[in-house]
Structure 1
Amino acid sequence: MGYSPPLGAPGSASGLQRGRAIRVLVVDDSLIVRAAFSRLVGAEADLELAAAVSTAEDALALLATERVDVILLDLEMPGMGGLGALPQMIERAREAKILVVSSLTADGAEQTVEALSLGAADTLQKPATGGFDQAYRERLLAKVRALGRRPLRRAAPAGQAAGSTPILRSPSRERAAIVAIGASTGGIHAIGQLFGALPTCLGVPILITQHLPASFIPAFAQQLREISGRPALPAADGMALLPDTILIAPGDAHLALAARPSGHVVRLDRRPAASGCMPSVDPMFASLADAFGAASLGVVLTGMGRDGSEGAQQIAQAGGTILAQNEATSAVWGMPGAIARAGLASAILHPRDIAGRIAAAVIARGA
């Protein structure tokens, strides 16, 4: 089974529920793609096509005067291209979210992961000939609506949850022996922020489940090595858990653990998860709770849907700690929002501040 992203996004209301349509900008040098995406957006009552342009330069010129909510961006175009224009596009678009529409070639994977690390919110494979079917259209529209949703509350300062204060759990009194991070939409950028603020030496293994296709995982691992200064590897069956080594769920299996006389090792699980995601955060968290109990530390970052909620409940029941990203800094506050609403989080923070809590939980008692 290959990568299966979350399609549902609890709380991701349409633009009509926000009082105005979600304005979409299409940036692609293919006339066929521009026409297909334009027709799709134009047919939805809660979406509005702001423009469809063929170059990044045209997009930057338009963003200087037009407000948009979501940008569908191709990376390989004549001129400066989507990747080269991305930093300026993020600056000019202000609160707009960027959905990279990419091929799944090796080169495309590297460029797409780099775009996600720079701040693009999500990615979707560009449809092959004959692949623009109903399932693809539904997936694209779900992503556009989730990204175009405006936050219910005004942004709060880093380290502070937006809006009314949710109920927080007390953190574990045990020193964290392992850290597991789950993320989806916007997660690569958030993970980069977290590792940029995390001490180089924690002395515990780190597991990551990021919703990505399998072909993107090697590029993601390489990027993590550069950002974190740690070994970062796609997980494989039987791999030992080593201090300060990052193991990443492959796109076609859940990352779980198995007990061996020498210690815990990786066990890849390809059974369907309740969330529908492959890989899913839930099996990773559930396995963590079984293996490490109150010494488990789970982190839920930005993402669409509810993946991670069931596993986080098991970590909480085992006495472990769950940390969640706040709404103000999330591309989509689906996964961390579900954690917050369920009262499972011990803190709801900016990713940089989550790094501080991780360090405190590993180095001393409590988070």
Structure 2
Amino acid sequence: MFEKIRVLVVDDSAFMRKFISDVINSESDMKVIDTAKDGREAVEKVRESRPDVITMDVEMPHKNGLEALEEIMRINECFQVIMLSGLTAQGSSITVEALAKGAFDFVQKPSGFNYLKIDHIKDELVEKIRYAVVRKKKLQQNNKDINESSKMFIKDVKIEAIALGASTGGPRVLYDVITHFPKDLNVPVFVVQHMPAGFTKAFAQRLDINSPLSVMEAKDGEPINPGKVYIAPGGYHMLVEGERIKLDTSPPIHGVRPAVDKLFISAAERYEKNLLCCVFTGMGKDGAAGVKEIKARGGIVLAQDEATSIVYGMPKAAFDTGCVDMVLPDYKIAEEIVRLTLQH
């Protein structure tokens, strides 16, 4: 008999507590063990019941989701917290902060809290709960034997642009990487992080405040400048078109928009052998087709390793193409990108 995933549901709305509980309890491999109506109560119940996963509303009275998360992380960093956030300026900002402070991921609540339209979060929430448990087990193993594998010979070329792609777990590692780029990294950096519209703006703002480089949410038609970091806005594919950024709303690829493949392929066409890319943690296979195009044109491809990836989907799909030059743990990626870019 397998053990079910034990979930604590935290929300100040009784309706949402029941809705989320019903979604979870309808799955054969998980169950709600308790609920809490605010962050203060959530911290108490975490101490009592030690759940595997906590779903946490962002905006609550007494103690909001971020404050509760910080306390829960102090109790034990192995607790997995999935934030539920409405698309408000405050909600998206708190959510991005929560991801940086240890939250596993987030699920967007429907705009306007229209409860007739919340069915779309069911599959996403259940999938992320399952992935969260995988991450919990990885943290509990505390495997420090991290190898830098698959180091292939990398040609000495002048890097003219950097392209980065990530999904689940990406905001935290991208934050660590981008904030470690030096001010003299004099090439444009293009970033696709799978995130809904609104959240990418908050993500870009947080990076800009804490980075030596200027970071912005990309705008359609804006000129590409060296030393700038361009974040693809949620809901738009971002492409490199000559010396400008192009945003489009063509159909999602792999169910996502922005898609890493769209960015990688367009950047490969523009920069050819002078492009350096990296595929980070995330679900699915977005980026795999892009790295094949980059490698075909002589560019350099890095990928995050399995041990430090929250979800080893996208990096594995990239690695399986045979086009990855180097596999690295998250804490070595910024250093390697800087070394390869500034070697000339």
Q: TM-score w.r.t. structure 2 length?
A: 0.90
Counterpart residue number, 1:62: 45
Counterpart residue number, 2:132: 147
Map 1:8-27 onto structure 2 (within 5 A): 19-27=2-10
Q: Which amino acid aligns with 1:303?
A: G
Structure 1 stretch 202-211 or stretch 268-277: which is displaced more? 268-277
User: What is the alpha-carbon distance in structure 2 between the residues aligned to residue 31 and residue 251 of structure 1?
Assistant: 30
Map 1:117-132 onto structure 2 (within 5 A): 117-127=100-110, 128-131=113-116
User: What is the alpha-carbon distance in structure 2 between the residues aligned to residue 68 and residue 330 of structure 1?
Assistant: 22
Cα offset, 1:152, TM superposition = 7.2
SS at match of 1:214: coil
1:157 to 122, 144, 156: 144
Matched, 1:241 2:224: yes
CA distance change for structure 1 residues 192 and 331 in 2, over 3 Å: closer, same or farther? same
User: What is the alpha-carbon distance in structure 1 between the residues aligned to residue 146 and residue 211 of structure 2?
Assistant: 21
CA distance change for structure 1 residues 255 and 159 in 2, over 3 Å: closer, same or farther? farther
User: What is the alpha-carbon distance in structure 1 between the residues aligned to residue 116 and residue 151 of structure 2?
Assistant: 45
User: What is the alpha-carbon distance in structure 2 between the residues aligned to residue 354 and residue 272 of structure 1?
Assistant: 31
Deviations 1:126-165 (A, max 9, x none): 243333554332222222223233567955438635xxx5
User: What is the alpha-carbon distance in structure 2 between the residues aligned to residue 113 and residue 244 of structure 1?
Assistant: 23
Sequence identity of aligned pairs in percent?
34
1:313 to 286, 292, 295: 292
Counterpart residue number, 1:351: 330
SS at match of 1:131: helix
SS at match of 1:77: coil
Matched, 1:289 2:268: yes
Structure 1 stretch 49-58 or stretch 151-160: which is displaced more? 151-160
User: What is the alpha-carbon distance in structure 1 between the residues aligned to residue 119 and residue 272 of structure 2?
Assistant: 43
Consecutive unaligned residues of structure 2, counting only runs of 5 or more, are none
Contact 1:172/1:295, CA 8 A, preserved across alignment: no
Deviations 1:29-82 (A, max 9, x none): 111111111121112111122321122222222333544332211122222221
Contact 1:239/1:266, CA 8 A, preserved across alignment: yes
Counterpart residue number, 2:72: 89
CA distance change for structure 1 residues 201 and 279 in 2, over 3 Å: closer, same or farther? same
Cα offset, 1:363, TM superposition = 0.9
SS at match of 2:191: strand
Matched, 1:197 2:180: yes
Aligned length: 340
User: What is the alpha-carbon distance in structure 2 between the residues aligned to residue 112 and residue 152 of structure 1?
Assistant: 23
CA distance change for structure 1 residues 133 and 79 in 2, over 3 Å: closer, same or farther? closer
Contact 2:201/2:233, CA 8 A, preserved across alignment: no
Deviations 1:90-125 (A, max 9, x none): 233432332110110122111112212222222212
CA distance change for structure 1 residues 203 and 335 in 2, over 3 Å: closer, same or farther? same
CA distance change for structure 1 residues 227 and 237 in 2, over 3 Å: closer, same or farther? same
Cα offset, 1:222, TM superposition = 1.1
User: What is the alpha-carbon distance in structure 1 between the residues aligned to residue 144 and residue 52 of structure 2?
Assistant: 22
Counterpart residue number, 1:216: 199
CA distance change for structure 1 residues 339 and 69 in 2, over 3 Å: closer, same or farther? farther
CA distance change for structure 1 residues 121 and 200 in 2, over 3 Å: closer, same or farther? farther
Counterpart residue number, 1:257: 240
User: What is the alpha-carbon distance in structure 1 between the residues aligned to residue 196 and residue 231 of structure 2?
Assistant: 12
Structure 1 stretch 322-331 or stretch 277-286: which is displaced more? 322-331
Matched, 1:279 2:262: no
SS at match of 1:160: coil
Cα offset, 1:283, TM superposition = 0.7
For CA contacts below 8 A with separation 6 or more, give which structure has more relative contact order.
1
Matched, 1:101 2:84: yes
Counterpart residue number, 2:32: 49
Q: Which amino acid aligns with 1:146?
A: Y
Q: TM-score w.r.t. structure 1 length?
A: 0.85
> What root-mean-square deviation, in Å, do the aligned CA atoms of Structure 1 and Structure 2 show?
2.3
User: What is the alpha-carbon distance in structure 1 between the residues aligned to residue 289 and residue 41 of structure 2?
Assistant: 45
Contact 2:9/2:20, CA 8 A, preserved across alignment: yes
CA distance change for structure 1 residues 83 and 155 in 2, over 3 Å: closer, same or farther? same
2:167 to 170, 175, 184: 184
User: What is the alpha-carbon distance in structure 2 between the residues aligned to residue 241 and residue 149 of structure 1?
Assistant: 39
Contact 1:97/1:121, CA 8 A, preserved across alignment: yes
Cα offset, 1:351, TM superposition = 2.7
